[in-house]
Each structure stands twice: as C-alpha cells, then as structure tokens.
Amino acid sequence: PRRMTPRQIIIDTDPGQDDAVAMLLALASPESLEVLGVTAVAGNVPLALTEVNARTMCELAGRTDVPVFAGCPRPMMRPLHTAEYVHGPTGLDGADLPEPTMPLQPGHAVDFLVETLRAAPEASITLCTLGPLTNIGMALVMAPEIASSVREVVMMGGAFFEGGNTTPAAEFNIWVDPHAAHLVFTSGIPITVMPLDVTHKALTSAARLQALRDLGTPQGDAVAGLLDFYDRYDMEKYGTDGGPLHDPCVIAYLLDPEMFGGKRCHVAIATDDGPAIGMTLVDWWGVTGLEPNATVINEIDAAAFYALITDRVARLPMG
C-alpha cells in the first residue's frame, strides 16, 4: 500500500488516566502520527501535576524524544476547578509509575503552539485536545493568524443528548474553560468533537481490562491499573459494567476514522455565568440555520476501539 506520511499532531492534555492512555495510543503509532510536542494544561489536576504526568507517559512509552511543555495554570476567566475526586490526588492513581527523568521543555506551551504553528505550512498541524482548551484559546488570542496552520482540532469535550458530567448541562473540559472553548468554536478552524455522546458508548468492561492485563507487559499492566482506578467513580455513578473512556477517542479517530460516526452541526458554547455555563449547544437538527462549525461524533465501534488500544499498547515501549 502507498506509504502514508504520518499526520503531524500536537497533543494538548491534562493527564488524567484517560489522557494517559490517549498519549500511549498516539506514541505507539509513529507510522501514522508524528507527535510534534505535548502541551500540558491545568484541568483534572493542577498544572504542576499534569506536566509531570505527561512526561511520565512519554517515558512509559519509550518516547522521551517528544518535547513536553507546561502551559496555562488556570482557565482564561474562571477560577480553576480540578477533578481529584475522579482522578485521585496524583492524576495518575491506579499505576505506580516512577517520577520522570526527561526534562520539561523551557518556555511556555502557548509560545510553543504559536511558534510551531507560525512556522508551519497551511493547514498542516492537527491539534488533539484532551482537556480544557485554555492553551489553544490563549494561542488564538496571542496570534490569531495561526488558525490557518491548523488542519483540524480533534477534541474530547462537550455533551448533548447525553447531558453533562460535571453539571447537568456541561462536560468537564468545556465547563472548566468555556471562554477558551468559545474562541476555538468561533475560530473558523475545522473541528471534530468527541462529546460524552460517543465516549459513553465506549465502556471499559472487565473483559477489556483483562485483555490489557493479558499483555503481561509493564505498559499493559499500567494501562489496566489506570483504567481500573479511573472507571470506579463512573461505574458507581452510572451503575454500568465499566466506565466511559473519553480521551483515547480523539487519537483513535485519527488512526481509524471508520470506527466513528456523526454529523456536521453548529455548536455554540454557553459562557454566561448561569446554571448552563459550559454547555455545548449542539444544533443537531439544524434549527438555528447557522452554518455548521464542527463534526459532532456520536457513534463508535467500541469493540474495534478497545482492540486498537490493546494492539498499540502491546507495541510499547517504542524504540
């Protein structure tokens, strides 16, 4: 088959167990994805932890070649709200991983985003956002012209038919920084959204966890441990066999888009300071007449999704 050139991506993330698995999936797929850098943001846990956790995952993957930058320590307008109640105090509870030795890059993640995009050809870089959109929003304010270098933003965020997971209206990533989300959705950049409507169809069942343990590798054990811890909160909350797996949907979409389904919709973000703040108003039925600004995904082949994750984790460590 014709050899595809790897898609250039930047992963913006707030690890977080599901972010961590998404990172491993990307870092284990160099034939498809060239990870130009990882930019950490405050979200699930404070920035001081998310930047360490991002480096921990690069090391677990054997990918210390990938530069990791620390970005914004809080949302653009609202105070930071974290989610230790889900992710544990470290943000990577469930796996006992060593402190990273690879260095954090000097310089701010937003400067890395701006400089990298300014130097990039038109529509060449895909931004994979796994947390609050603060870094991206700030970069767009600092240098609006960078939008033309972004091929696509593929994000985990938002919810519509599924309802919110942080308030009845809002999903965590958008709720933490709705103003940044508004800047992204009004930027004109092509966007593909993985909302709770699709991530809640990808549950980490006991059998899927066992398949990871059966790899018998430190990486397989780490992923099983992370997910076993992570899905406890959601299993309790939703009463399901396994919790939803959010962030890896972003990377799986790039590796195998056929696994997903959805449609073009207009999406607006509620930023007014009321009970619906952070809601993604998905015009699924086209009632606003507004031009669609995103592809909203609501279908997934969950078996293929977990098979892909297990297959790629089995490759680790790289190199």
Residue 270 lies near ligand RIB (rule: CB under 6 A):
no
Q: How far is the CB of 140 from ligand RIB (least distance, A)?
A: 20
Cα–Cα dist 230/17, whole Å: 6
Residue 18 lies near ligand RIB (rule: CB under 6 A):
yes
Residue 165 lies near ligand RIB (rule: CB under 6 A):
yes
Q: How far is the CB of 167 from ligand RIB (least distance, A)?
A: 11
Q: Which does 172 bind (CB under 5 to 8 A by kind): ligand RIB, Ca ion, none?
A: ligand RIB
C-alpha distance from residue 48 to each of 82, 104, 109, 120, 190 (Å): 12, 11, 13, 29, 31
Q: Closest CB to ligand RIB among 200 and 312?
A: 200
Residue 234 lies near ligand RIB (rule: CB under 6 A):
no
Considering only 134, 135, 173, 192, the residue that binds ligand RIB (CB under 6 A) is 173
Contacts 24+ apart (CB under 8 A), 256-262: 256/304, 256/308, 259/300, 259/301, 259/304, 259/305, 259/308, 260/198, 260/297, 260/299, 260/300, 260/301, 261/297, 261/298, 261/299, 261/300, 262/192, 262/198, 262/295, 262/296, 262/297, 262/298, 262/299
Q: How far is the CB of 230 from ligand RIB (least distance, A)?
A: 9
For 39, counting Cβ atoms within 10 Å of its Cβ (0-12 exposed, 13-18 middle, 19+ buried), the class is buried
Which positions are annotated as active-site residues? 246
Residue 16 lies near ligand RIB (rule: CB under 6 A):
yes
Q: How far is the CB of 229 from ligand RIB (least distance, A)?
A: 13
Give the binding site for ligand RIB (CB under 6 A).
Answer: 14, 16, 18-19, 43-44, 130-131, 156, 165, 171-173, 246-247
